[in-house]
């Protein structure tokens, strides 16, 4: 019955589209949307209580059927997906409400236009439910092809949701998103075909049982890995992520780093486990550190809060890649869970501030006057760094323990940089003048969300306060203080926003994609 996790939001999406076409009452559509968002929760509770749980759909044999399951490997990621979609669903009901929604306030400096809600909010609700179904399917699938199918379901819904925004430059960003993801999807499917030709199986467990070290399998593995790095927004293949996050409506923007970037990185971790005999970690270690450091450097240059969070995701995906390359897949997945949970809340909180100020610029937004929202942002931003007993510390310190020597120091330094980045974020949000009060319902929602994230961290760490935490926190505070005194924390000079030519961007991406793929394949010679 595990497939019901996917079937509930999928059926709700179909029914919602049908009822909207039949001119059903808006209240009915909203209730159906909420049922599709919340429906998987009771099933998840039952399955999680009886883990591990695995079944082949339709009662087929594993060799010919579609296997799905819930176990200690994916249960936290499914939990994060459910929490994020619950918050996004509730946020979307408030944001896209036809008469009392928040979209009309989202009006200044090209950030949307007054009163321009999507023509059919029910269509947005259906697409969110399709993304919900696709994400759950990708997480519970035990074979490569069905992961691909579910990921495409989630990503196609994502393309359309991004393109539904009315902001200047949205269509270009959505086009880049589409072309880069579709390119990676075709190449990933090609890699799956090669693996199937060499092993005769698509089920990961069966592939592992019959895996032989062959040149074709090794090439296919790296082709698949590079495609997953594109979809995960890992540097230098992150071209699509900043603009897509910044140009989307806030409820949609939260899904980009919290869910769509999570799914391919989860599969990357599984590939490293099941293809251990042909998996070479050294190139991924280089890519992971490059993504961590480059993401931080690019984030410090941003005036746009959503683009900053997108570049921070690039850095956090680097942390996950480092964990996979270091052979510590459980803690890599633990950090992926923490990032999904925390970043979803941070983007929603940023959206509430943007709606309040009508701008995405740091010098125009503030959480002063909204104590619940301020507490949520502070708690969530600290939860991604090496601060015990918060949720992000579990993966960070676990991955650090798997490294040694200079690499361990560099890794910890990068995560101190994450703390410095979020200290700067909170300092900027605290010191700006008060603006219009943030929406009360959203503030309460995000406060509860942040409290849940903190509670999860306390549960996973057992409330333990590590000895490294005070030292790293002090180091981050001193580093930020020195940077502030030297003027290094000042916002960069404002530059007029330019909509880049999507054709040029896609061509540059294709060149970088091929360069990375060729270098990795040459490394295997």
66-85 residue pLDDT tens: 888 888 889 999 999 999 99
From CA 266, how far away is CA 337, in angstroms rounded? Answer: 10
Residue 110 confidence (pLDDT)? 42
Q: What is the tens place of the pLDDT at every residue in 24-34?
A: 788 888 899 99
C-beta of residue 157 within 8 angstroms of C-beta of residue 256: no
Least confident of 40-44, 277-281, 408-412, 475-479: 475-479
Residue 116 confidence (pLDDT)? 47
Distance (Å) of CA 337 to CA 74, 75, 344: 9, 10, 11
pLDDT higher than 70, residue 448: yes
C-beta of residue 254 within 8 angstroms of C-beta of residue 348: yes
Residue 87 confidence (pLDDT)? 94
- What percent of the chain shows pLDDT beyond 90? 38
Distance (Å) of CA 24 to CA 13, 15, 35, 119, 292: 14, 11, 16, 15, 48
From CA 465, how far away is CA 483, in angstroms rounded? Answer: 28
**Residue 107 confidence class, pLDDT cut points 50, 70, 90:** very low
Residue 491 confidence (pLDDT)? 65
pLDDT higher than 80, residue 502: no
From CA 417, how far away is CA 257, in angstroms rounded? Answer: 19
Residue 114 confidence (pLDDT)? 33
**Residue 8 confidence class, pLDDT cut points 50, 70, 90:** very high
From CA 431, how far away is CA 436, in angstroms rounded? Answer: 15
**Residue 55 confidence class, pLDDT cut points 50, 70, 90:** confident
Residues 251-277, mean pLDDT to the nearest whole number:
91
- The chain-wide mean pLDDT, for the chain, equals 85
> At what angle are helices 371-382 and 440-461 packed, to 10 degrees?
30
**Residue 61 confidence class, pLDDT cut points 50, 70, 90:** confident
Residue 500 confidence (pLDDT)? 67
Distance (Å) of CA 483 to CA 75, 123, 247, 419, 486: 41, 47, 30, 13, 5
Residues 184-207, mean pLDDT to the nearest whole number:
90
Residue 498 confidence (pLDDT)? 65
Eight-state DSSP code of residue 362: G
Q: What is the pTM of this model?
A: 0.91
CB burial readout 449-488, b (16+ within 10 A) else e: bbeebbebbeebbeeeeeeebeebbeebeebbeebeeeee
From CA 255, how far away is CA 373, in angstroms rounded? Answer: 20
C-beta of residue 466 within 8 angstroms of C-beta of residue 140: no
DSSP track, 82-128: HHHHHHHHHHHHHHT-TTT-SGGG--GGGSS-TT---S-HHHHHHHH
Is residue 321 classed as helix, strand or coil in its secondary structure? Answer: helix
Residue 112 confidence (pLDDT)? 41
pLDDT higher than 60, residue 117: no
pLDDT higher than 80, residue 487: no
Residue 95 confidence (pLDDT)? 81
Residue 333 confidence (pLDDT)? 94
Eight-state DSSP code of residue 53: E
**Residue 269 confidence class, pLDDT cut points 50, 70, 90:** very high
Eight-state DSSP code of residue 391: T
Q: What is the tens place of the pLDDT at every residue in 220-260?
A: 999 999 999 999 999 999 888 888 988 888 899 999 999 99
Strand partners, 70: 53
Highest mean pLDDT among 134-143, 202-211, 506-515: 134-143
pLDDT higher than 90, residue 189: yes
From CA 313, how far away is CA 299, in angstroms rounded? Answer: 9
Distance (Å) of CA 104 to CA 101, 116, 256, 354, 373: 7, 7, 23, 12, 21
Residues 117-136, mean pLDDT to the nearest whole number:
82
Residue of 270, 298, 288, 333 lying closest to 460 (CA atoms): 333
Residue pointed to by tokens 């990032």 = 339
Residue 176 confidence (pLDDT)? 87
C-beta of residue 324 within 8 angstroms of C-beta of residue 269: yes
| Neighbouring C-beta atoms of residue 338, cutoff 10 Å | 28
Q: What is the tens place of the pLDDT at every residue in 135-175?
A: 999 999 988 999 999 999 999 999 999 888 877 778 888 88
From CA 374, how far away is CA 427, in angstroms rounded? Answer: 11
């Amino acid at each position: 019955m595990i497939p019901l996790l996917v079937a509930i939001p999928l059926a709700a999406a179909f029914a919602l589209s049908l009822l909207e076409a039949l001119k059903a009452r808006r209240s009915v559509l909203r209730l159906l949307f909420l049922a599709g968002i919340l429906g998987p929760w009771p099933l998840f509770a039952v399955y999680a209580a009886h883990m591990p749980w695995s079944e082949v759909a339709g009662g087929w044999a594993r060799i010919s059927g579609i296997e799905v399951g819930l176990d200690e490997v994916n249960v936290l990621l499914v939990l994060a997906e459910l929490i994020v979609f619950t918050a996004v669903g509730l946020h979307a009901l408030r944001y896209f409400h036809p008469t009392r929604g928040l979209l009309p306030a989202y009006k200044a400096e090209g950030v949307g236009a007054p009163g321009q809600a999507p023509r059919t909010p029910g269509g947005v609700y259906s697409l969110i439910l399709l993304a919900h179904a696709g994400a759950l399917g990708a997480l519970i699938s035990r074979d490569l092809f069905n992961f691909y199918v579910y990921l495409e379901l989630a990503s196609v819904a994502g393309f359309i949701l991004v393109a539904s925004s009315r902001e200047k430059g949205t269509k270009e960003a959505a086009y880049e998103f589409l072309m880069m993801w579709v390119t990676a999807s075709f190449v990933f499917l090609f890699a799956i075909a090669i693996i199937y030709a060499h092993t005769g199986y698509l089920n990961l467990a069966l592939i592992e049982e019959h895996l032989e070290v062959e040149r074709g399998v090794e090439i296919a593995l790296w082709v698949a890995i590079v495609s997953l790095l594109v979809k995960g927004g890992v540097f230098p293949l992150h071209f699509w992520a900043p603009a897509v996050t910044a140009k989307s409506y806030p409820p949609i923007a939260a899904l980009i780093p919290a869910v769509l970037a999570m799914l391919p990185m989860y599969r990357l971790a599984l590939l490293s486990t099941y293809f251990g005999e042909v998996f070479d970690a050294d190139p991924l270690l280089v890519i992971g550190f490059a993504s961590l450091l480059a993401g931080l450097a690019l984030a410090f240059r941003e005036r746009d809060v959503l683009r900053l969070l997108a570049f921070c995701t690039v850095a956090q995906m680097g942390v996950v890649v480092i964990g996979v390359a270091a052979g510590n897949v459980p803690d890599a997945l633990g950090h992926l869970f923490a990032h999904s949970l925390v970043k979803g809340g941070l983007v929603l909180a940023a959206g509430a501030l943007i709606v309040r100020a009508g701008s995405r610029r740091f010098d125009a937004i503030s959480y002063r006057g909204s104590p619940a929202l301020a507490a949520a942002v502070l708690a969530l931003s600290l939860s991604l760094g090496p601060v015990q007993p918060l949720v992000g510390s579990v993966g960070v310190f676990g991955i650090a323990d798997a490294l040694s020597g200079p690499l361990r120091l560099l890794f910890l330094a990068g995560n101190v940089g994450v703390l410095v980045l979020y200290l700067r974020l909170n300092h900027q949000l605290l010191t700006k003048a008060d603006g219009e009060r943030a929406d009360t319902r959203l503030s309460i929602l995000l406060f509860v969300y942040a409290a849940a994230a903190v509670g999860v961290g306390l549960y996973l760490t057992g409330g333990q306060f590590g000895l490294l935490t005070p030292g790293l926190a002090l180091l981050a505070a001193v580093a930020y203080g020195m940077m502030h005194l030297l003027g290094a924390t000042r916002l960069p000079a404002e530059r007029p926003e330019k909509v880049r030519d999507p054709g040029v961007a896609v061509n540059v991406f294709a060149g970088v994609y091929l360069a990375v793929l060729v270098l990795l394949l040459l490394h295997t010679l």
